[in-house]
Amino acid sequence: MNPLGTHLLVDLWSGNGEKMNNLEYLKRTMSGAAQVSGATVLKTVFQDFNPHGVSGVVVIAESHLTIHTWPEHGYAAVDIFTCGAKVDPWKAARFLKEELEAADMEIRDFQRGLPPHQNSANQTGDGTRNAACRNTHRQ
């Protein structure tokens, strides 16, 4: 494979249910996780649910972070997808574990990209392979 990015699927268990049900807190915390990882935050969209739970996405110049919470179970499912060499998605995962006070965390790590036989004709000068990973973006 010719990797374009790293995709972490993160399960956080036995976390703080109040924090996991607080839309504004999660918006700040997810944006903070992106910043800690070295990513550039472009947009956020979050929605809370009745009676509980929050879903949200942080769009970063290098891809995205998403979360869905089940505060009644102290559980959060997080997706961190990054591309480029300057972002460390593992830092974002550790930050979220600490901020949500999760007792346990499991991370599945995937490399995403092109099949081995496809060339990297779209390679940019900064080592990335597509527009979503470049330093400049439409806003």
Identified catalytic residue from 83, 117, 133, 137? 83
Identified catalytic residue from 52, 68, 73, 137? 68
The whole-angstrom separation of Cα 54 and Cα 30 is 12
68 belongs to the catalytic site: yes
Q: Which residues contact 99 (CB under 8 A, 6 or more apart)?
A: 19, 29, 32, 33
The whole-angstrom separation of Cα 76 and Cα 53 is 9
Identified catalytic residue from 7, 63, 64, 133? 63
83 belongs to the catalytic site: yes
Across the chain, the runs of DSSP E, i.e. the strands, are 2-13, 41-48, 54-60, 63-70, 75-83, 104-114
Residues marked as catalytic: 63, 68, 83
